[in-house]
Chain A
Amino acid sequence: MSYVKPVFSHPDLPANKVGYRKRDYEGAISTLCAGCGHDSISGAIVQACYELSIEPHRLAKLSGIGCSSKTPTYFLSNSHGFNTVHGRMPSVATGATMANKDLLYLGVSGDGDSASIGMGQFVHVIRRNLNMVYIVMNNGCYGLTKGQDSATADFGSISKGGSQNHFQPIDLVGMALELRASFVARSFSGDKKQLVPLIKLALSHPGFAFIDVLSPCVTFNNNVGSTKSYEFIRDHLEYPAPADYVPKAKEITVDYAAGTGTLVTLHDGSTLRLDKLAGDHDPSDHLNALRRHHEAVANGEILTGLLYMNKESETLHQLFNTVEVPLNSLRETELMPGTAALEKINQLFR
């Protein structure tokens, strides 16, 4: 019986700045199929949170229903979690962020959860620019119910049973760009080199950060003819601009001498580094992002990386101009200041 995770970890792996080891960010052993792309994404989330030195109790993970939405069990077992109703994760996330703006919110959803039953919730959470990371583990099929085509299955993609998909796919990235989501990225579960920095970047972005991660379903959608198989994705990947997140505290020296890349200063003083290749892609150019994405779709390419980021993004709390402290910490005395305070306010309207 090998379904037990040993307690031992590598003795030489260092603790991060807040004193936690990578093991402290892991979760229970996965019960998804062996080789599932979702597990790699879980691995990338673990790596990103460990590298960012996030204290596990400062983060809440939320999910809907589906294979993707099971994954929060497999990472960050020391963080808060809420496994919500199918497609309703954004509602619960909205409530949670409104109540406590001090936590980091990491939403995990799938193509069924977001592009079908949760579509209405998905578009509105983008509109509101809720301060959260929203990862879609996109495998183009309903893995939990034996692999039927999902709404993101590409036109013409062939299922494991041999049937062709005759419907046009819902393009979550295109939709997020169209709705002016303040952060839109796309990646591939099999490319941690890109995915880990993207998650780090998303976690540090104020406002709604959307990452669509192609994640092959190794059991039902990894066959020849599928457009979401490991092999097909690898053959069609396009990188507009490899991006990396450089925390504020870290000095930018050796690797990235001036002139070799573009450095974009973010809200908190940290830096977004774009590779040399970034010359032809500026992620703050919304029109260009839309154009590049649609060109890639037309060419049958999968454009990955950071596609768009609004540097002036304002979160829902900023738009509402709420108080500094989390709303859930306000006590009766602050919420009901009494007749004297009411009288003062009334005086303003005389």
Chain B
Amino acid sequence: MKPTNIQDPEYFHKVVDCQYACPAHTPVPEYIRLIAAERYTDAYMINWESNVFPGILGRTCDRPCEPACRRGRVEDEPVAICRLKRVAADNKSDVLDRMPEIPEIKNGKKIALIGGGPASLTVARDLAPLGYEIHLYDEWNKGGGMMRTQIPAFRLPESVLDEEVNYILDMGISTHFNTYVSSLKEVLDQDYDAVFIGTGAPKGRDLHLPGREEAGPRIHIGIEWLASVAFEHTKSIGKKVIILGGGNTAMDCCRTSRRLGGEDVKVVVRSPFNTMKASPWEIEDAQSEDIPIYNNMPPKEFVVENGQLKGVLFEKVEAVYDEKGKRNLVPTGEPDVFFEADDVIIAIGQDNAFPWIERDLGIEFGKWDLPVLNKTTFQSTLPKVFFGGDAAFGPENVITAVAHGHQAAISVDLFCRGKDLWERPSPMTNLVSQKMGIHEWMYDSAVVSDIRYAVPHADKKKTLTNRKVEVELGFDQQLGFKEAQRCLNCDVQTVFNTSRCIECDACMDICPTSCITFTTNGKEEDLRGRLLAPAEDLSQDLYISDILKTGRIMVKDENVCLHCGLCAERCPTAAWDMQKFFYNVTKASSECLTPIPA
């Protein structure tokens, strides 16, 4: 294999598994260390810079970082990254003086943002400090989009949402709330230099089964029902409730039902339990609120008697996989099951819908009626129109919407400056030695063996009677510190200097996870097979040195490196060094804040 090019910022970036997995590439280990150092405000701002909504995401993120966390590969559970983010948000001091300054003299460009959710707000956050005049349109009376309408208050208190939405709206954004944009043409006819569309995936799927028409008002569409609860149009529900669907919306619906009067609340999914789309922790939370989940039961009919919904009839099936691995739900032949219900909530997915975009504007639509977009620039086929969030490529999550927003903002900025949209800014990186002295590093190199700490919950008696009482209490500072110490500091990189190595084997002998091997070079497949420990995870890179004096090379399998620094500690010539790698996605920042010539 060729020697690893550590000058390529993506090499070390990939070693920081959590940051690499985060759509917005939040520098996770950096903010976790700041939490351990009780520098909560600094930790918050690192987050805010990357993901815009630390307090919101610290409660509601889908956490793509956690399955990626290296800790999960050396022991049972990853670091509770998401809930540590909340520790930073909960304990920070006032951050207003750290917010970017908004220039009084604008740059002369005017941007319209359609939809007030995370994607649009991120675009606003990135462009307002550059002097853009920003107009935000939303059909509701407040910003936040689906974070407000679909995430129940017992998971995300309104105060947290308002705070983080307002940091952005207070940047001099012209808001047009209670304004449903019914025609893109009308927007384009105004003098906007660019338009960003972040209207989400607002259409909840319906289920057209026998009885659907007759049962009428007692059958609800999940996301619409959640929105109507959030805006207090709906304040109660029947005692017996059935939720159809197995995603996070279904979990929110069943838990909300328990708080609005539902006593016998059931979730019924058509496929096996282990294929449910909801996050495991959301399923757990639902179950702990006495909500049973029935699986392998597709609904057959809404049973209605005398115009009154009585319940739902379910078929019993099992999942059979053919040789291609394709799943078929095959009836088992057991008798159908009938569950009584006063109300049924359908939460089986949501779709994009752009009835308000005229099809003759030059914006091409493709599969699933989604706009045809460039995946890097988020530009549509009409150059001045950009998309992001769920509106771009279908339903994802908040953190993905934020990542889209950052990239779209860069595009809008380049577009308004008349520049090539492909001249994207490089990431900002930094690599600094952590050596302080003998046995002394600038980071806590010792690897603690604590198992993952659980987030304390409020008393069920209290939370089930008031839908606005937050269930999770969050880590306190002490628990937060302990959990933070579980982080392996994967951003503190093991950097190898070939010319200094005397091949004494000390690093190979000391490495607790047998990551390092000195051997003769070969092809990757061959090398992976003859390392000290098997290197079977192909998604994890091998770090290859230049040829050493004896003709061998140093090979390090990055997979389960604990970043404990013992290789560097036992190296007599400092051929190994522990160096902190900081990687930050560059946002729309532009060369200067001077007005853009018209």
Interface residues of A (CB under 8 A from B): 1-13, 22-23, 29-30, 33-37, 39-40, 42-43, 189-190, 192, 216, 218, 222, 230-231, 234
Q: Are B512 and A11 in contact (CB under 8 A)?
A: no
The answer to whether B505 and A3 have CB atoms under 8 Å apart is no
Q: Tell me whether A2 and B565 are in contact (CB under 8 A).
A: yes
Instruction: Point out the residue from A3, A4, A218, A231 that lies within 8 Å of B572, measured CB to CB.
Output: A218
Pick the contact of B502: A3, A4, A43, A230 (CB < 8 A): A230
Chain A residues with Cβ under 8 A from B549's Cβ?
231, 234
Contact B536 A39 (CB under 8 A): no
Q: Chain B residues near A10 (CB, 8 Å)?
A: 513-515, 533, 560
List, in ascending order, chain B residues with CB within 8 A of A11's CB.
Answer: 73-74, 560
A234 near B550 with CB under 8 A, answer yes
**Looking across the interface, which residue of chain A has its beta carbon closest to that of B512?**
A6
> Could you tell me if B504 and A2 are in contact, using CB atoms closer than 8 angstroms?
no
> At the interface with chain A, which of B163-171, B201-209, B357-365, B437-445?
B437-445
* Chain A proximity of B506: nearest CB distance (Å): 5
Residues of A within 8 A of B510 (CB): 29-30, 39
Given A35-B504, A230-B502, CB of A40 within 8 Å of CB of B509? yes
CB within 8 Å for A5 and B566 given contacts A10-B533, A10-B560, A35-B572: yes
Write 30 A-B pairs (CB below 8 A) sorted by A numbering: A1-B440, A1-B441, A2-B445, A2-B446, A3-B569, A4-B446, A5-B512, A6-B513, A8-B74, A10-B533, A10-B560, A11-B74, A12-B536, A13-B514, A13-B533, A23-B512, A30-B510, A34-B506, A34-B571, A36-B506, A40-B509, A189-B504, A189-B505, A190-B503, A190-B505, A192-B505, A218-B572, A222-B502, A231-B502, A231-B549
B449 CB–A CB distance under 8 Å: yes
From 449 to 472 in chain B, residues with beta carbon under 8 angstroms from any chain A beta carbon are 449
B509 close to A42 (CB less than 8 A): yes
Q: Is B345 an interface residue (CB 8 A)?
A: no
Q: How far is the CA of A18 from the CA of B500 in the complex (A)?
A: 40
Q: How far is A37 from B502 in the complex, measured between Cα atoms in Å?
A: 11
Residues in chain A near residue B74, CB distance under 8 A: 8, 11
Whether the pair B505, A40 counts as a contact (CB closer than 8 A) is yes
Summed over the interface, the residue pairs from A and B with CB atoms below 8 Å come to a total of 109
| Interchain nearest-CB distance for B488 vs A (Å) | 9
A22 neighbours in B (Cβ, 8 Å): 514
Complex Cα distance, B562 from A1, in Å, reads 14
Contacts of A30 in B (CB 8 A): 510, 570
| CA distance in complex: A11, B565 (Å) | 19
- Min CB distance, A139 to chain B, in Å? 12
Closest Cβ–Cβ distance, residue B520 to chain A (whole Å): 10
Q: Is the CB of B572 within 8 A of A43?
A: no
Chain B residue numbers with a CB within 8 Å of A13 are 514, 533-534
Residue interface mask B501-544, A partner, CB < 8 A = 1: 01111101110111100000000000000000110100000000
Contact in complex: A35, B570 (CB < 8 Å): yes
User: How far is B502's CA from A216's CA once the two chains are assembled, in angstroms?
Assistant: 11
- B564 at interface (Cβ–Cβ under 8 A)? yes
B561-593 at interface with A (beta carbon < 8 Å)? 562, 564-566, 568-573
Query: B537's closest neighbor in chain A, by CB?
Result: A12
CB pair A35 B571 closer than 8 Å: yes
Question: In the docked arrangement, what's the CA distance between A30 and B568, Å?
Answer: 14
Asked whether B75 is an interface residue with its Cβ less than 8 Å from the other chain, the reply is: yes
Given A8-B75, A190-B505, A234-B550, decide whether A34 and B570 contact each other with a Cβ distance below 8 A.
yes
Complex: A7 Cα to B451 Cα, angstroms: 12
Given A35-B502, A40-B505; A2-B569 close (CB under 8 Å): yes
Q: Contact: B533 with A43, CB < 8 Å?
A: no
Q: Can you name the residue of chain B whose Cβ is closest to the Cβ of A75? A: B509
From B439, B504, B562, B564, contact of A40 by CB (8 A): B504
Is A190's CB under 8 angstroms from B445's CB? no
A254 to chain B, nearest CB (A): 15
Bound form: Cα–Cα A29–B570 in Å = 10
- Please tell me the size bucket of the interface on B: 35 or more
Residue of B447, B505, B513, B562 with most chain A CB atoms under a 10 A cut-off: B505
B566 touches A2 (CB 8 A): yes
Residue of A nearest to B511 (CB): A10
**8 Å CB contact of B439 from A1, A36, A190:** A1
Having A4-B447, A11-B73, A13-B514, one finds 16 other A-B pairs with CB under 8 Å, namely A1-B444, A4-B446, A6-B512, A7-B449, A8-B74, A8-B449, A8-B560, A9-B512, A11-B560, A12-B534, A12-B536, A29-B566, A36-B504, A36-B572, A40-B504, A43-B509
The distance in angstroms between the C-alpha atoms of A40 and B510, with both chains bound, is 9
Distance to closest chain A CB from B529 (angstroms): 13
Q: Report A-chain residues with C-beta under 8 Å of the C-beta of B449.
A: 6-8
- Compute how far the CA of A33 lies from the CA of B510 in the bound complex, rounded to whole angstroms: 13
A34: chain B residues within 8 A (beta carbon)? 506, 569-572
Task: Evaluate contact between B447 and A6: CB separation under 8 angstroms.
Answer: yes
**B514 pairs with A9, CB closer than 8 A:** yes
Most A CB contacts (10 A, CB to CB) among B73, B446, B572 go to B572
**For the complex, what is the distance from the CA of A30 to the CA of B570, rounded to whole Å?**
9
How close is A256's CB to chain B, nearest CB, in angstroms? 18
The 8 A CB mask of B425-444 against A (1 = contact, 0 = none) is 00000000000000111001
Residues of A within 8 A of B566 (CB): 2, 5, 29
Bound complex: CA A4 to CA B565 (Å): 10
A3 & B439 in contact (Cβ 8 Å cutoff): yes
Query: Are the C-beta atoms of B504 and A216 separated by less than 8 Å?
Result: yes
Given the complex of chains A and B, what is the CA–CA distance between A100 and B499 in angstroms? 50
Measured CA separation A192–B508 after assembly (Å) = 11
Contact B504 A218 (CB under 8 A): yes
Smallest Cβ-Cβ distance to B505: which chain A residue: A40
Residues A43 and B508 in contact, CB atoms below 8 Å apart: yes
**Quick check: A39 and B564 within 8 Å, CB to CB?**
no
Set B75, B441, B502, B515: member contacting A2, Cβ < 8 A = B441
The CA-CA distance from A35 to B502 in the complex, in Å, is: 9
Chain A residue contacts of B569, Cβ below 8 A:
2-3, 34
Task: Return chain B residues, CB-CB under 8 Å to A43.
Answer: 505, 508-509
Give every chain A residue within 8 A of B533 (Cβ-Cβ). 10, 12-13
Q: How far is the CB of B533 from chain A (nearest CB, A)?
A: 4
Residue of A nearest to B446 (CB): A4
A230 touches B503 (CB 8 A): yes
Which residue of the partner chain B has the closest CB to A33? B572
Output the least CB separation between A36 and chain B (Å).
Answer: 7
Give A31 Cβ to nearest chain B Cβ, in Å: 11
Q: When chains A and B are docked, how far (Å) is the Cα of A42 from the Cα of B570?
A: 14
User: B446–A39 contact, CB under 8 A?
Assistant: no
Contact A8 B447 (CB under 8 A): yes
CB of A73, distance to nearest CB on chain B (Å): 14
Out of A9, A39, A42, which one reaches B513, CB within 8 Å?
Answer: A9
Query: Cβ of A218: which chain B residues have Cβ within 8 Å of it?
Result: 502, 504, 572
Given A10-B514, A11-B73, decide whether A39 and B506 contact each other with a Cβ distance below 8 A: yes
**Which chain A positions have C-beta within 8 A of B534?**
12-13
User: Shortest CB–CB separation between residue A220 and chain B, in angstroms?
Assistant: 12
Q: How many Å lie between the Cα of A190 and that of B568 in the bound state?
A: 18
Most buried by B among A29, A34, A222, A231: A34
Question: Shortest beta-carbon distance, B45 to chain A, in Å?
Answer: 28
CB-CB nearest 7 A-B residue pairs: A35-B572, A43-B509, A6-B447, A2-B445, A10-B533, A2-B565, A35-B504
A222 to B504, CA, bound (A): 11
Closest Cβ–Cβ distance, residue A190 to chain B (whole Å)? 6
Residues of chain A contacted by B508 (CB below 8 angstroms) = 43
Q: How far is the CB of A62 from chain B (nearest CB, A)?
A: 22
B540 to chain A, nearest CB (A): 12
What CA separation (Å) do A328 and B74 show in the bound complex?
44
Nearest CB to that of B75 among chain A residues?
Answer: A8
